[in-house]
Every structure is written in C-alpha cells, then in structure tokens.
C-alpha cells in the first residue's frame, strides 16, 4: 500500500512516431521534481520482444542498462539524465513481457480454469505493473510507446483508460503529443492531423486533458484556441513542444509556457516554485562555451544511426559542460578506417573514442584507430569493446603476439587475450544472459582512474560477455599496460591505462549510463579535458602564419 496519494500522468503520441514523447516526459519529470515532488517514470513499449536486448541498434537504437541489470528502452536514459529518479527493470514493460507473465500464470493454473483474455487479464497485468513501479512517489509519468492507431498499443491504451476510473479522475491526466506540420506551399500550419489523432484517441475511450503539439515555429493564441475547440480541450491546456537547439532547453521552454504550473493545478498538487537555475547554467554552457570547441572522433559500426550511441553522445556533451567547451562529434565508420587508414579518417581530431558493440565487422578498423591514438599520443577512451580492442592492439604491437584477438571474433586465435567468461560458455539463450547491471570496481592508487573518481571503489554498469583473459594479465602489465581497476569478487579486469600517454583509458563497463548534464561522469570530464589540452598544445606548436610584405 502506498503511503502517498500518487498522481498519474499518461503520455501518448499521435500522427507520426519520433515526436519526442520520451524527452517530453523527461522534461515534465524534471519540472515537477524541481517543484519539490518525488517522481518516477515508466515506459510501456508495444513490441512483442521481452526487452530490447536482442534487437539490432539499427532497429531500436541504444539499449539502456539499469542498475539492476535491466536491458531497457533508450528513453529510460532520458529519464535518468533529466531527473534524480533511479530506473530499474520495473520502469520498462513490453507487450512481450506482459504476455509472458500472463501465460506463465496461466500455465501454473493461477486463473483457476478461466478463459484468459486481453480484457481483463492482459490489462490487469499492465495496471499491476504500473502500480508496482509507483510505490511511494508523488507523481508517476507513464509514457506509452508507438502511435495512437497502432494495433500493438491497444491493450496499453485500454489499461491506462481504466486506470483513471481506478485511481479517480482527480488523480490522473492524459497528455497527447501530436504534430503540427507547416505546409510551405500553403504558407500555414495545419491542425487537421492533430484533430484526427485526438479523434482516434477518443474512439478508444480516452479524452486528452492536455495537448502538446510538436512544431518548428511559434503558434498563435488563435491557433491554439482553434485546436482546443476542435479537440474538446480547455483553452489553457494546449502547449507546444518546439524544436530547440539542445534537448536540455526543453524543460525551460515548457516552464516558460506554464505547463508545470497548469499540471499542478489540474492534479491539485501543492508544490513550491521550481528552481531551474542549474538548467539555465547548462544551456548557457552548451550555447556559449567559454573555451571554444574540441573535436572527438567516435570510431564505431553504428555511426549511420547516432541514436545507437545516444547515452554516449550525451555523456560527451556533459564532459564539454564540465570543461565549458563545445564538443564536436565526428562519427567515423570503422570499416572506413580499415579501407582508408586512420591517418586520413582521423586527421585533425583532438581525441579518439572507441565505443561498445557486437560482431566482427569493423573490428580491425577499431584496432587501427587505437594504435593511431596510442602512437601519436592522442587522448583515447575505450568503452567495453573499445577496451578489448585496446588490449588486442597492445598485445599485437607491443607484446608481439602475432594473431592475438578476441575469441568473439576468431575462435582459432593463437593468443585469445580476450575470452568468454567461464559462466558464459554453455549459455544458449541470448536475451538477458550477459554480465548485466552494476558491479564493483576497485581502483589502483596513483592512476588516472583513481584521480578522476577520487575514491578507491566504484560501482558501474555492464553489458557484455567477453573479458580480458587473466592468463595474459601478467605479461600485459610487464609490458606497461596498467590495470587501473579490477573486480575484486570475480577477479576481472575493469579498467586499463598507459602511464606514458596524455590520456589512454579503457573501461569494461559503460560509464555513459550514469552521466547527467548537472553531474557529468568523471571519465568523460577527464577525457574532454584531455582533448582540450591536446587542442591547446597543437595550437601552441603550430608554426606562425607567414606575414606578406
């Protein structure tokens, strides 16, 4: 039983996908949290996969990993970055997970011989899942994935329709996010797609209380009143979600329009005035950095879809905020590095980052990028697979172990310097079976890692199967590779670095999952700081431009 009277905000989307429901939900969470309320957020995904863990990044974008090892939708990353709410596997439910739970109960005989149906059994399971994640908070923001009209989302929409009757109309509101397209030939913004989307939502039984209209331009009061009238929404409850230069400006923009004030009023929530100074500072540092710009190359295999590296991109931006510098990202396909060489593809960058990933394609390009950064003293950061590629490159080039590789990419390598964990050898299922979630890492005193974290032991989130082979650990260290972090319980390598390099750091975990704009992760702050030093050193060393007489 909840000790607080929890309020529910349900966010749906219409017209088209990718309107930014996740960012809108996160921004609303940030505003309400800044009004002194305890909040949490839930994402309901209509697809049949149990979780996104086995889906290609090209299909789904990034998989966000929670502290408890949940492989979840990338929107949960927005939720954690914008608020202090800690996400868990309870904050993301898919159709697959809901149906799996219901079928498991049916097989155990828990329904006492009843015919199992979408209503009430599936919808009851959805509602129970929402309630489970809504313990002891003031407000729960529930985002329903997909677009109104999709057949897959109907059980979720029916469940949230019922919840208003379960919790009382004064404790639940519906926000519908739609598109207001501008038709250039006509020279005007069209409201008809929004009207049709609301009509479809009302057919399902949900009358939205608020409309949040995505647009690329200012909308007049007259147009908002027209939308309100045709969609049966109060005049003061039509807001816009405008295109902004930075996603971190969105909470400020929604507050400027008074969305948080109106939500508090409709839900009858007592709250203080919001304190948004930190958001204003963040936006200023993004738009007007005092120290110019640095260029970071991200050498990966999913560079054609930057959503695959969403948390990583944001964490690099956070590192820029910490150093008051703009971070320009240059996405480099690792296959291009293989074909053209790192000298051409990485020329002029201030730092090189090799992120995580799966599969053999492009790995030799990543190894070449590591060597280029190591030999040319360019700041390098390797994350998960990036650390493993750094170990492979060091083994081949410095130790002279010809053919050294990871068993993931070459089962017959004579030197498996990266190998499958013993506990993973007999694993057949791919979903949810990796080393997932938060694990301890003990840091070695005097290392860059120890200096950046300023503590002896840390907790970081993992998502991988392969590890540095302990059989080669001694030889690697004798040759100069510093093991700066290890897991004391499993005796596994967690961090590496080089002492004779400006910044050469690798980590087996994913620090990008814990970085926030107002609390940048120390590894990203240090990395961007090293890129800034590299840029300044190059400027100092650059020859003077000849002056013509």
441 assigned to active site:
no
What's the DSSP call for residue 269?
-
Give the residue among 532, 488, 505, 493 at the shortest CA–CA distance from 447: 505
Q: Which residues contact 523 (CB under 8 A, 6 or more apart)?
A: 381, 449, 452, 505, 507, 511
The dihedral of CA 79, 146, 255, 280: what is its sign?
Answer: positive
- Per-residue confidence in pLDDT tens, the chain, 549 aa: 445 789 999 999 999 888 999 999 999 999 999 999 999 999 999 999 888 877 766 566 789 999 999 999 999 999 999 999 999 999 999 999 999 999 999 999 999 889 999 999 999 999 999 999 888 899 999 999 999 999 999 999 999 999 999 999 999 999 999 999 999 888 899 999 999 999 999 999 999 999 999 999 889 999 999 999 999 999 999 999 999 999 999 999 999 999 999 999 999 998 888 889 999 999 999 999 999 999 999 998 877 666 778 999 999 999 999 999 999 999 999 999 999 999 999 999 999 999 988 777 889 999 999 999 999 999 999 999 999 999 999 999 999 999 999 999 999 999 999 998 775 455 555 444 578 999 999 999 999 999 999 999 999 999 988 999 999 999 999 999 999 999 999 999 999 999 999 999 999 999 999 999 999 999 999 999 999 999 998 877 655 444 443
First to last CA, the chain: 84
User: DSSP letters along 322-356, please?
Assistant: HHT-EEEEEEEEHHHHHHH-HHHHTTT-SEEEE--
280 assigned to active site:
no
| Cα–Cα distance for residue pair 212/217, rounded to 1 Å | 14
The torsion of the CA quartet 278, 279, 284, 289, rounded to 10 degrees, works out to: 70
344 is in an annotated binding site: no
The active-site residue out of 213, 384, 441, 507 is 384
The active-site residue out of 62, 125, 460, 512 is 512
Write the burial class of residue 321 (CB in 10 Å: 0-12 exposed, 13-18 middle, 19+ buried).
Answer: buried
192 is in an annotated binding site: yes
What is the helix (H) or strand (E) element at residue 485, kind and residue range?
strand 481-487
385 is in an annotated binding site: yes
What predicted TM-score, i.e. pTM, was given to this entire model? 0.92
3 is in an annotated binding site: no
195 is in an annotated binding site: yes
18 is in an annotated binding site: yes
The active-site residue out of 60, 176, 510, 521 is 510
E strands, 366-456, are: 380-383, 405-406, 416-420, 435-443
Question: SS3 for 374?
Answer: helix
| Cα–Cα distance for residue pair 116/138, rounded to 1 Å | 33
| Cα–Cα distance for residue pair 44/98, rounded to 1 Å | 10
510 assigned to active site:
yes
158 is in an annotated binding site: no
113 is in an annotated binding site: no
| Cα–Cα distance for residue pair 321/414, rounded to 1 Å | 45
226 is in an annotated binding site: yes
């Amino acid at each position: 039983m909840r000790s607080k009277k929890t309020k529910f905000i349900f966010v749906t989307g219409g017209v088209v996908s990718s309107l930014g429901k996740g960012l809108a939900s996160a921004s609303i969470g940030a505003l309400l949290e800044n009004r002194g309320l305890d909040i949490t957020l839930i994402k309901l995904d209509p697809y049949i996969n149990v979780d996104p863990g086995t889906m290609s990044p090209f299909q789904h974008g990034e998989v966000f990993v929670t502290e408890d090892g949940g492989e979840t939708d990338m929107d949960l990353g927005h939720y954690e970055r914008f608020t202090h709410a800690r996400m868990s596997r309870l904050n993301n439910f898919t159709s697959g997970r809901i149906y799996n739970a219901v079928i498991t109960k049916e097989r155990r005989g828990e329904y006492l011989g009843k015919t199992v149906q979408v209503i009430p059994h599936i919808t009851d399971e959805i509602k129970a899942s929402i309630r489970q994640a809504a313990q002891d908070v003031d407000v729960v923001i529930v985002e329903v994935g997909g677009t109104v009209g999709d057949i897959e989302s109907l059980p979720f929409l029916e469940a949230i329709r019922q919840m208003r009757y379960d919790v009382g109309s004064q404790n639940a509101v519906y926000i519908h996010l739609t598109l207001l397209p501008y038709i250039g030939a006509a020279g005007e913004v069209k409201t008809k797609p929004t009207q049709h989307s609301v009509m479809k939502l009302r057919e399902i039984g949900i009358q939205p209380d608020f409309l949040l209209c995505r647009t690329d331009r200012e909308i007049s009061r007259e147009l908002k009143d027209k939308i309100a009238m045709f969609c049966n929404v109060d005049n003061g409850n039509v807001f816009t979600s405008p295109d902004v230069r930075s996603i971190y400006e969105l909470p400020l923009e929604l507050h400027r329009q008074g969305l948080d004030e109106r939500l508090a009023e409709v839900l009858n929530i007592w709250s203080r005035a919001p304190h948004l100074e930190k958001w204003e500072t963040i936006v200023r540092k993004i738009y007007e950095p005092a120290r110019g710009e640095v260029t970071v190359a991200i050498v990966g295999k999913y560079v054609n879809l930057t959503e695959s590296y969403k948390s990583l991109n944001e964490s690099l931006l956070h590192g820029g905020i910490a150093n008051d510098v703009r971070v320009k990202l240059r996405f480099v396909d690792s296959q291009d590095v293989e074909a053209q060489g790192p000298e051409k593809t990485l020329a002029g960058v201030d730092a090189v980052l090799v992120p995580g990933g799966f599969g053999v394609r492009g790995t030799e390009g990543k190894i070449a990028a590591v060597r280029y950064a190591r030999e040319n003293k360019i700041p390098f950061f390797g994350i998960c697979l990036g650390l493993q590629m750094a170990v492979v490159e060091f083994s081949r080039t410095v130790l002279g172990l010809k053919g050294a590789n990871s068993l993931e990419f070459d089962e017959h390598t004579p030197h498996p310097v990266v190998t499958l964990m013993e506990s993973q050898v007999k694993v057949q299922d791919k979903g949810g079976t990796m080393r997932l979630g938060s694990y301890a890492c003990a840091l070695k005193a005097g290392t860059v890692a120890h200096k950046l974290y300023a503590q002896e032991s840390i907790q970081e989130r993992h998502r991988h199967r392969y590890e540095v082979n302990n059989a080669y650990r001694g030889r690697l260290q004798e040759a100069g590779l510093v093991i700066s972090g290890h897991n004391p319980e499993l005796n596994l390598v967690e961090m590496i670095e080089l002492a004779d390099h400006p910044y050469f750091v690798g980590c087996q975990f994913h620090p990008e999952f814990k970085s926030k704009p107002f609390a940048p992760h120390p590894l990203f702050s240090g990395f961007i700081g090293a890129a800034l030093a590299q840029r300044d050193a190059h400027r100092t060393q650059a020859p003077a431009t000849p002056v013509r007489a």
